[in-house]
């Protein structure tokens, strides 16, 4: 049986050992490339299987770990030219390198991994969002004070009843006038909806690009990340707005939240 080496970009994806077995069945060796924020999980993986070799990232840089993995891929391919090599990552930036390796007759492919929704992660994010939501959001919606109860007017002679009856007729006319107002056309509603979607897309792109420009300075702790998103959304942003934007960033592949860590 030929050797199968799985090279995992653990900053990009964090499959469990069981998930890794499904991605690369019958693997003989696993090279786990990790940064300082994945040390604990990586060590647990190495303890669970003797074929796992940890490769910590050296130095800093936006693509530092990617270059580590690429270097090792060449090293393993040279040492084991007949082996099957699998790069486990969602980062399509590896694809040109893999295509070149195939031109040299090496058996290499990339396997993506989509983390299963966790029943624990979502409450953690929601709790963190509520904890860091700007205090201004609370001020913008103060609890309404109960209006002082009006004293019931004492029952009077039929004069009050006549006045009440006289006021009913104009109310009907006003209602009729309101109902006569034309409803907004479907085209107008569609235009407004499209404009709102366009504004949301621009806001998502702005925040995503801002995080990319920050590089290693982008927040890696969940609480600081949520504070950053709240600041980008503007003063008075609510917990619901922050959580919605975090979900959009995850869906767009800009970030991945693992416990209290934020990975890029």
Domains, the chain, ordered by start: 4-111 (3.40.50), 121-139+193-263 (no CATH)
In angstroms, what CA-CA distances link 212 with 62, 145, 203?
9, 45, 14
In angstroms, what CA-CA distances link 210 with 128, 234, 254?
22, 14, 11
Taking residue 88's Cβ as centre, other Cβ atoms within 10 Å add up to 26
Taking residue 98's Cβ as centre, other Cβ atoms within 10 Å add up to 18
Give Rg (Cα) of the chain: 30
Taking residue 8's Cβ as centre, other Cβ atoms within 10 Å add up to 28
Matching residue, tokens 């969602």: 90
Specify whether the CB–CB gap between 5 and 107 falls below 8 A.
no
Specify whether the CB–CB gap between 28 and 3 falls below 8 A.
yes
Q: What is the pLDDT of residues 83-128, one digit of tens each?
A: 999 999 999 999 999 999 999 999 999 999 987 654 444 555 666 6
Query: Which pLDDT value is given to residue 162?
Result: 52
Is 0.85 topped by the overall pTM?
A: no
């Amino acid at each position: 049986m030929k050797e199968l080496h799985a090279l995992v970009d653990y900053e990009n994806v964090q499959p469990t050992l069981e998930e890794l077995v499904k991605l690369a069945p019958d693997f003989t060796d696993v090279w786990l490339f990790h940064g300082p924020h994945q040390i604990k999980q990586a060590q647990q993986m190495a303890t669970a299987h003797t074929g796992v070799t940890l490769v910590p990232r050296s130095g800093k840089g936006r693509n530092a770990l990617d270059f580590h993995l690429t270097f090792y891929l060449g090293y393993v391919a040279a040492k084991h030219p007949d082996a099957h090599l699998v790069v486990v990552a969602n980062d399509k930036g590896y694809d040109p390198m893999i295509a070149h390796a195939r031109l040299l007759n090496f058996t290499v492919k990339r396997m993506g991994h989509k983390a299963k929704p966790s029943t624990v992660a979502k409450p953690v994010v929601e709790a963190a969002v509520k904890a860091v939501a700007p205090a201004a959001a609370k001020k913008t919606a103060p609890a309404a004070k109960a209006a002082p109860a009006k004293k019931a007017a004492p029952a009077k002679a039929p004069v009050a009843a006549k006045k009440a009856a006289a006021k009913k007729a104009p109310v009907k006319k006003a209602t009729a006038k309101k109902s006569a107002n034309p409803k907004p056309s479907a085209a107008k509603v569609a235009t407004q909806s499209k404009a709102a979607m366009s504004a949301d897309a621009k806001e998502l792109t702005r925040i995503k690009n801002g995080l990319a420009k920050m590089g290693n300075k982008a927040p890696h702790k969940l609480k600081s990340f949520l504070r950053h998103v709240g600041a980008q959304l503007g003063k008075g942003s609510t917990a619901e707005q922050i959580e919605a934007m975090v979900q959009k960033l995850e869906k767009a592949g800009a970030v991945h939240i693992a416990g209290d860590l934020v990975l890029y």
